[in-house]
Amino acid sequence: MRILHTSDWHLGRIFHGIHLTHDQAHVLEQVVDLIKEVKPNILLVAGDIFDRSVPPTEAVNLLDEIVSKIQMDHKVPIIMIAGNHDSPDRLGFGYRLLQDMGLIIAGKLDIDMKPLIIEDQHGKVAFHSVPYVEPAVIREKLEDSKIHSHDEAMHKLIQHISKGIDKNKRNVLVTHAFVAGGNESESERPLSVGGTGIVDPRCFNAFDYVALGHLHRPQSMGDGRIHYSGSLMKYSFSEANHQKQVSLIELGPKGELKLERIELKPQKDLRCVQGYLRDILNGPQNGESKDDYLMVILNDEGAILDAMGKLRKVYPNVLHVERPQITSQGNLVRVHGDFKKMNELDLFSSFISQVTEKEITEDQKKVMRSTLDTYYQTMKGE
């Protein structure tokens, strides 16, 4: 059984004011091409299809286009579940009609939903779908007042599902959760505060493979059976060193599993660049694209006029500039003395001391005096 696992598309994402829909379309076309090449038996999309509960029109159109290509051109069944960013009602609209066409959408939780059965040369595989849902909803559906945390909710829900599981056959679960042991990224929205959103991986012991969504870094737990495919693209600068991918799972006879990670290449990469402004303005040194989305960290200590403007002449997609030298261990230094009574040279000296944590030098004072003299002469018309 060949299973293609992906998640966290976040269609409609806006990153530092940039609409990423065209970038997402570029990567999703690679997913469609991959489906054509490897011919999976099923595609699993483990939540956070959209970036927000009311997605923009272009995001909805992109999803419609990609799903139509997969369904109509390649006849591959799809299981798609809601994540914590999705609206279960909007995502699940028309699911009863669509499931007859091979598109299974689990928006709202149905605790008695029957699994999708697909058969191969080794027998039947049951695919179970559990969308993201708050513990209070499961507490109500299961009529269990003891359910309060995500871990308790998932354990009770899996116990309920397991009553109908044939453990002699292969079982796959698609769900959206924060499983203990996973590594987070900055772009993920917390499921809860205080750690109550974490789920114990032991509750998934009944399944031969667990296709997870929510965490954006590709990673495996539980001897590889519990796996995050990671997000479609890099959605924060903390992910700059991530390698985005989809996961191809070969599910053999009971107990046999092989996982292959297949790289996705973005139209524009997301990178962090650090150095002195003069060096960065020389352009890419190692074959990188000048059109990549960049965060630039400048090592320069002195004042820089319009650093963003200068950088964008070389790198048009610089999104953020940081000046770590301007702070002292992350905290701004307070001005000592009454600045209203200071002359221009004293104010400049105080400024230099704050941003560089060093006292002004005599050479800097001479340059400042000369600049002030020139300024006042110009103002007097001399």
pLDDT tens per residue across span 128-139: 999 999 999 999
CA distance 70 to 79: 12
Residue 157, pLDDT > 90, answer: yes
Mean pLDDT estimate for the chain: 88
* CB 144, CB 188: distance < 8 Å: no
Residue 1, pLDDT > 80, answer: yes
Q: Specify burial of residue 304 (Cβ count, 10 A radius: 0-12, 13-18, 19+).
A: middle
Residue 381: per-residue pLDDT:
56
**pLDDT band with cut points at 50, 70 and 90 for residue 184:** confident
Residue 147, pLDDT > 70, answer: yes
Which residues does 316 contact at the CB level (< 8 Å), separation at least 6?
290, 291
Q: What domains are there in the chain, each with its CATH number?
A: 2-263 (3.60.21.10), 270-380 (no CATH)
Residue 188: per-residue pLDDT:
79
* CB 255, CB 212: distance < 8 Å: no
Token reading at 117: 């059965």
Instruction: Give the E-state strand segments of the chain in sequence order.
Output: 2-6, 14-15, 18-19, 42-45, 78-81, 103-106, 116-120, 123-130, 170-176, 178-179, 198-199, 209-213, 219-221, 226-228, 245-251, 257-263, 270-275, 293-298, 318-322
Give the angle subtended at the CA of 124 by the CAs of 118 and 125, to the nearest 5°.
Answer: 65
CA distance 316 to 331: 30
* CB 292, CB 267: distance < 8 Å: no
Residue 62 phi/psi, 5° resolution?
-65, -45
Question: In this predicted model, which residue has the larger pLDDT, 161 or 185?
Answer: 161
Question: In this predicted model, which residue has the larger pLDDT, 211 or 109?
Answer: 211
Residue 47, pLDDT > 90, answer: yes
CA distance 372 to 97: 76
**pLDDT band with cut points at 50, 70 and 90 for residue 380:** low
* CB 87, CB 54: distance < 8 Å: yes
Half-sphere exposure of residue 232, counting CA atoms within 13 Å on the CB side? 27
Residue 333: per-residue pLDDT:
45
**pLDDT band with cut points at 50, 70 and 90 for residue 16:** very high
Residue 373: per-residue pLDDT:
78
Angle between helices 21-38 and 57-68 (to 10 degrees): 10
Residue 59, pLDDT > 70, answer: yes
Q: With helix as H, strand as E and coil as C, how does 115-170 read?
A: CEEEEECCEEEEEEEECCCCHHHHHHHHCCCCCCCHHHHHHHHHHHHHCCCCCCCE
**DSSP β-bridge partners for residue 220:** 227
pLDDT tens for each residue of 358-374: 788 888 888 888 888 78
* CB 92, CB 82: distance < 8 Å: yes
Residue 10: per-residue pLDDT:
96
pLDDT tens for each residue of 291-346: 999 999 999 887 788 999 999 999 999 999 998 876 544 444 444 555 555 777 88
CA distance 155 to 54: 30
Residue 264, pLDDT > 70, answer: yes
The SS3 of residue 209 is strand
Q: What is the identity of the amino acid at 241?
A: N
pLDDT tens for each residue of 202-260: 999 999 999 999 999 999 987 889 999 999 999 999 999 999 999 999 999 987 899 99
Arithmetic mean of pLDDT, 21-27? 97
> Where is 62: in which H helix or E strand?
helix 57-68
DSSP state of 334: P
CA dist 233 → 116, 141, 159, 177, 328 (Å): 29, 35, 34, 19, 34
Residue 95: per-residue pLDDT:
62
pTM of the model: 0.82
Q: Cα torsion at 334, 340, 345, 350 (round to 10°)?
A: 0
Arithmetic mean of pLDDT, 160-187? 89
Lowest average pLDDT, out of 16-20, 57-61, 94-98, 349-353, goes to: 94-98
Which residues does 107 contact at the CB level (< 8 Å), separation at least 6?
81, 82, 86, 87, 88, 89, 90, 91, 92, 93, 95, 131
**pLDDT band with cut points at 50, 70 and 90 for residue 124:** very high
Token reading at 335: 């001005």
Characterize the bridge pairing of strands 209-213 and 170-176: parallel
Arithmetic mean of pLDDT, 156-184? 90
